[in-house]
Amino acid sequence: MPAVNNVLVVGAGLAGAGVAIHLATRGVAVDLLDIKPEVAALGSGITLQGNALRELRSLGVWDQVQEAGYVFDVTGIRAPDPFGTVVAEIPDAKTGGPDLPAAMGMPRPELAHILLDRATEVGVKVRLGTTFTELSQDEDGVDVTFSDGSTGRYDVVVGADGLRSWTRRALGINLETKSVGMGIWRAFGPRPASVTRTDLYYGGPSYIAGYCPTGEDSLYAYIVEDAQDRSALTPDEQLATMKQLSQAYHGPWDEIRETLTDPSRVNYTWFETHVLDEPWNRGRVVLIGDAAHTCPPTIAQGGAMALEDAVVLAELLVERTALDQDLWDAFMARRYERAKTVVDASNQLAQWQLDHVQGDIPSLMRSIAMLTSQPA
């Protein structure tokens, strides 16, 4: 008999949907709630490396993900010169195994819909536009009061509610989330035929200017600058600012720039980071994904780490027969150092760029590839 019979998951992002799907397919009753009234995701696209694809396959959604996204096995490095000259082509490590692509891009909202549809298919009870107002736990379970006045009792509550997790705050955990010092402009638009992989431009007036194909007809483009308050800009001014910053970059950027016409498809956020010291649980309530660890997207591993948390936690909850300290210790043994290493590497790469230091980026990336090529 598994350690749990029913579980509440708070937050329907990658970590939340992932753990809900895995538990439900093993016969656990799961309620999955999200405060947002409909499936949505901030940003425009997401880059998923092989270890993320491995976990998506384990969730039973690989066919849909592959159909919705755009796969590639090489990352290009271009110069910020008048021609966007290619200066390097780096084969991406197949960290998910030889039978999966090294990487792929896809629209974030599309991935969210695929995961929520899969959750519903396997019997997860999805409740959108709902959150909890009170958690009260004892040795045998957790009593939960919801924002609509209803109540429930669960063996475990999983807080997968993101960077500014309400579950984390409800547990009284004070975790400082810091700005890395960079801000990123992202835009979603059509894919020119010249864009068949991720290309990164280092240097010029911004730290990075890049793009990633997300489908046959779509991509997301991004520019990284010093973090600053851009909140006073109107949508039209945001679009104009991103286009102005892109003027220094050429090659495919010249085509991309001409397609950036819709202000609603542009957003700006800061790179932020934190890692919660172990343990990530307080009694029967546990934090995963961005609620426990978050990193700047410099090595595109945030989504993968969230999915790995989900897989490992679900595995332990259904394969162990008791919800005891040994289970929580096993979870931390498999997740804490691995997630912290990825966060530290992401921050190190960002700091090199802030300091204009020519760090050994290939060695850093090889180290992360070696780590993530092993199952979580």
Interacting residues of 166 by C-beta distance below 8 A, sequence separation 6+: 10, 35, 131, 132, 159
Which contacts of 242-245 are long-range, i.e. CB under 8 A and separated by 24 or more positions?
A: 242/185, 242/187, 242/266, 245/185, 245/205, 245/206, 245/209
**pLDDT score of 39:** 74
What is the share, in percent, of the chain residues with pLDDT greater than 70? 98
**pLDDT score of 43:** 55
State the first-to-last Cα distance of the chain, in angstroms, to the nearest integer: 24
* Position 369 confidence tier, pLDDT thresholds 50, 70, 90: confident
β-pairing verdict for 285-287 and 156-159: parallel
Using CA of residue 204, residue 207, residue 213, residue 218, what is the dihedral sign? Answer: negative
pLDDT digits (tens, 9 = 90+) for 266-300: 999 999 999 999 999 999 999 999 999 999 999 99
| Helical (H) or strand (E) element with 133 | strand 132-137
What average pLDDT does this structure show over 203-232? Answer: 95
* CA–CA distance, 111 with 65 (Å, rounded to integer): 7
**pLDDT score of 41:** 56
What average pLDDT does this structure show over 243-258? Answer: 97
**pLDDT score of 370:** 82
**pLDDT score of 365:** 74
Mean pLDDT of the chain: 94
What average pLDDT does this structure show over 242-262? Answer: 97
- The SS3 assignment for 55 reads helix
* CA–CA distance, 123 with 23 (Å, rounded to integer): 10
201 DSSP β-pair partners: 78, 209
**pLDDT score of 228:** 95
pLDDT digits (tens, 9 = 90+) for 308-364: 999 999 999 999 999 999 999 999 999 999 999 999 999 998 998 888 766 677 777
pLDDT digits (tens, 9 = 90+) for 59-90: 999 999 999 999 999 999 999 999 999 999 99
* CA–CA distance, 168 with 161 (Å, rounded to integer): 9
* Position 258 confidence tier, pLDDT thresholds 50, 70, 90: very high
- What are the angstrom distances between the C-alpha of 175 and each of 133, 182, 267? 20, 20, 26
**pLDDT score of 40:** 65
223 DSSP β-pair partners: 185, 209
Does 153 score more than 80 pLDDT?
yes
| Helical (H) or strand (E) element with 123 | none
CATH code assigned to 6-69+108-177+273-373: 3.50.50.60
Amino acid identity at 49: Q
**320 CA to centre of own chain:** 28
Does 196 score more than 60 pLDDT?
yes
pLDDT digits (tens, 9 = 90+) for 19-47: 999 999 999 999 999 999 887 655 579 99
- In the chain, what are the domain boundaries? 6-69+108-177+273-373
**pLDDT score of 159:** 98
Does 134 score more than 80 pLDDT?
yes
Does 366 score more than 90 pLDDT?
no
74 DSSP β-pair partners: 91
b/e code 100-130 from CB counts within 10 Å (16+ = b): bbbbbbbbbbbbbbbbbebbeebebebbeeb
* CA–CA distance, 156 with 124 (Å, rounded to integer): 15
Q: Pseudo-torsion of CA 9, 65, 209, 269, nearest 10°?
A: -20
Backbone phi, psi, residue 53, to 5°: -65, -35
